[in-house]
Every structure is written in C-alpha cells, then in structure tokens.
Amino acid sequence: MPNTIGIYIHWPFCRSKCPYCDFYSSAQKCNNEDELIEQYCQDLEYYHSLSDNDQVRSIFFGGGTPSLIKPQNIEKLIDTVTSLWSCSPQIEVSLEANPNSNHPHMFQDLKIAGINRLSLGIQALNDADLKFLGRTHKLSEALHAIEEVTTFFNNHSIDLIYARPNQKIENWQQELKQAVSFGLKHISLYQLTIEENTVFAKKGIKALEENAAAEMYTFTQEYLNTHGYPQYEISNFGQPCLHNCGYWQGEDYIGVGAGAHGRIHIDNKIFATTHPRQLEELTSQERAEELIIMGLRILEGINKKHFSEQCGLNFDSFVNLEKLHTLASQNLIINTTEKIRPTTKGLLVLNKIIEDLCC
C-alpha cells in the first residue's frame, strides 16, 4: 500500500480582514495571481520530488479566501497535483469559500474546476452578529450560497462561530436548529476566541464567560449527536473531512502558499516544512507531542501502536502515567491497552489533558 498524503494550498488574500481573525491573511488585492499560481505549481513539483511514491487522498484549498482565486487557476492547481502524483480514486478536493461570490456562477465554476467538497464560512445566522463579526455578507447572501452549494455539490459544510459576546443560549439553540435544517453533510462550530493583536483584542472585546460557553458547547454536542451529525472532533460534526482527519491522525501532508506548512517523511525521518521550501527535521519528542496534541482532538483518539510506529517512542513510557490514570478516573479520557481517547466531557478541557500527559 502506498503512503497516502494530503495537499494543502493556502491562499493568503481576503476581501477584508475580519476583526477576530488571526489567520495568515491580508486584505490587499492580489495583483499577480497568475504569476503566484505558477510559483505554487513549481512548489508542488518540488514537493513531489520528495514524495513521488505517495498517493494523494485529499487536496484542500484554505485561507485566507481561496474562493477569490479564478476557477481556471484552481483547475490548473488540481491538474498539476493529479498529473504529478497518483491519486486515490475517491480523492476529496475541498475549498473554503466566503458566501458572497466574487463573480456569478462561482459555485458551478468551482465544481467544473474539480472541487468536490465545498465549505462555506457562514459564521452567524443573523445580520446583527454578521455585522459584529465584520463579515462582508448578509444573512440573505449566506442562505442563497447554502442553497447553491447544496444544489451543486454532494459534499458540503458550513462554519459557524458561537459564544459571541452577549449571545444567549436560546439564540444559539435557534441557529443550531436552523443549521441542521439545511441538510448539509458536515458542520464546523468554533467558539469565538479573542486572539492577540486582532481588532477585537485591541478593542478590549471579551470572550463569553466560561460557564456560558461550556453550556453552549454541551448543548451543541448533545443536539448534533441526536440530529444526524455525530461529533468526531472537538469542533467538527457529521461526515468527516478526509483532509483534516489526515492532520489529526498524523498523516503526511504537503503545504504550498505563504501561510502553509507540511509534514513529510523522507528516509524514515519526519520533516516539518514551511514556506518557502524550508525543511526541518523533528525530534522523536517533538513528533510525539504533536501526535498527542492532534490525536486527542478526535473522538477516535490515538492508537498506541500507530503512535509508536509514527514517532519511535512507546506511548505509555512517553506520557505521565500517574496523571493519565487520574484523568481516566475523572472520566476525561478512556485509556485501554490499545487506545487513548477523550470523552465528550474531556473535550471541554483538552488543553489541560494534553498538558498533564506531556509534562
């Protein structure tokens, strides 16, 4: 069986900068798109030379706002990947889109270009909160985009941000019910975090109080688990995104674009890659820590045998066993000889679990 990899393509441009966002992105217009795409293709060729026996199982266009890329350039990038590597017959090709299309027929054009999974950044389902979040779309545009996406694609998702300041649980419950009514395959739900150096942080906007946010999270888990969207990751529900699962399971991936990073095996060593074409070998310790940080985000958890194959260290010897047993007795994790996984209660305090295990 060939080693499978994902390809992440990062587009660092947006129409405007949202006040909560600290992702690598700029509100400047891209004036040399064709030239940049050519560089991306050359970077793909370079990474292919390091991973030519691998099989691609997913491509993910993320951002920034990759729906600003011309569809013919999206097609060019997909064609470059598929002509360089062998690809899985069920390859997942996702793109993150903002609802207000930069041109008519955007979603049809993206489908023709080769995208087969569309993820829409909706963020809120009322105009007042969309405005507060600094989004450039209105609710009517969001609803229209959802309708188009569910018409043109078989695999689709939306992102919503909750635990907004002053948001009441009743309002969130209403939005969640509405989100379920769209008939999407997948829903991503993120608690608003106030990131350093964002406009929200500079304005002194405070995150929702911890207990209120936890109440919303618990409701979200229960509601979605009983309405056709089983939780599989801390913020993700429904039919799993193959590409993102690759990150959480410690699979290799190639990243191109200014804000992209990657993980590639070369001669049984694991390298972290960053733009432009920088490679740094990870130590077993570093690799083990990231496998725990990523692997505990998914409810499936970490397979201990797989873990030791991936980093060369024994799981039970690497972690703090005393703390592991305490976490298990508190019903925050389930620990067996084969696996360790977080409970739904544990997902609420994941940072503490990771800290305890790795210290």
Instruction: Name the site residues for ligand SAM (rule: CB under 6 A).
Output: 20-21, 23, 62-63, 65, 96, 98, 121, 123, 159, 161, 190, 192-193, 195
Q: Which residues contact 4 (CB under 8 A, 6 or more apart)?
A: 54, 55, 56, 57, 88, 246, 251, 252
Q: Closest Cα to residue 145, out of 127, 171, 118, 112?
A: 118
List residues bridging with 4 in a β-sheet: 55
* Burial group, residue 140, by CB count within 10 angstroms (0-12, 13-18, 19+): exposed
Contact partner at residue 193 from ligand SF4, ligand SAM, none, CB < 5 to 8 Å by partner kind: ligand SAM
Coil, helix or strand for 29? coil
Contact partner at residue 260 from ligand SF4, ligand SAM, none, CB < 5 to 8 Å by partner kind: none
Q: How far apart are CA 162 and CA 260, in angstroms?
A: 26
Q: Which residues contact 285 (CB under 8 A, 6 or more apart)?
A: 313
Contact partner at residue 159 from ligand SAM, ligand SF4, none, CB < 5 to 8 Å by partner kind: ligand SAM
* Burial group, residue 237, by CB count within 10 angstroms (0-12, 13-18, 19+): buried
Contact partner at residue 271 from ligand SF4, ligand SAM, none, CB < 5 to 8 Å by partner kind: none
Considering only residues 97-126, where is the footprint of ligand SF4 by CB under 6 A?
98, 121
- Select 25 or 58, whichever has its Cβ closest to ligand SF4: 25
Q: Which residues contact 8 (CB under 8 A, 6 or more apart)?
A: 60, 62, 243, 253, 254, 255, 256, 257, 260, 262
| CB of residue 148 to ligand SAM, shortest distance in Å | 15
| CB of residue 13 to ligand SF4, shortest distance in Å | 8
Q: In whole angstroms, how far apart are CA 162 and each of 159, 172, 211, 311?
A: 10, 7, 14, 36
| CB of residue 4 to ligand SF4, shortest distance in Å | 27
Instruction: Tell me the backbone φ, ψ of residue 167, rounded to 5 degrees.
Output: -70, 135
Q: Which residues contact 303 (CB under 8 A, 6 or more apart)?
A: 338, 339
Contact partner at residue 289 from ligand SF4, ligand SAM, none, CB < 5 to 8 Å by partner kind: none
- Select 107 or 315, whichever has its Cβ closest to ligand SF4: 107
Residue type, 176: L
| CB of residue 33 to ligand SF4, shortest distance in Å | 17
Q: How far apart are CA 160 and CA 263, in angstroms?
A: 28
Contact partner at residue 17 from ligand SF4, ligand SAM, none, CB < 5 to 8 Å by partner kind: ligand SF4
Considering only residues 57-96, where is the footprint of ligand SF4 by CB under 6 A?
63-65
| CB of residue 128 to ligand SF4, shortest distance in Å | 18
**Span near ligand SF4 by CB under 6 A; candidates 19-27, 202-210, 274-282, 295-303:** 19-27
Is 157 an interacting residue with respect to ligand SF4 (CB under 6 A)?
A: no
- Select 63 or 71, whichever has its Cβ closest to ligand SF4: 63
- Select 25 or 73, whichever has its Cβ closest to ligand SF4: 25
- Select 141 or 215, whichever has its Cβ closest to ligand SF4: 141
**Span near ligand SF4 by CB under 6 A; candidates 14-22, 103-111, 234-242, 244-252:** 14-22
Q: Closest Cα to residue 137, out of 146, 292, 214?
A: 146
Q: Are strands 333-335 and 231-233 parallel, antiparallel or unpaired?
A: unpaired
**Interface with ligand SF4 by CB under 6 A: which residues?**
14, 17-18, 21, 23, 25, 63-65, 98, 121
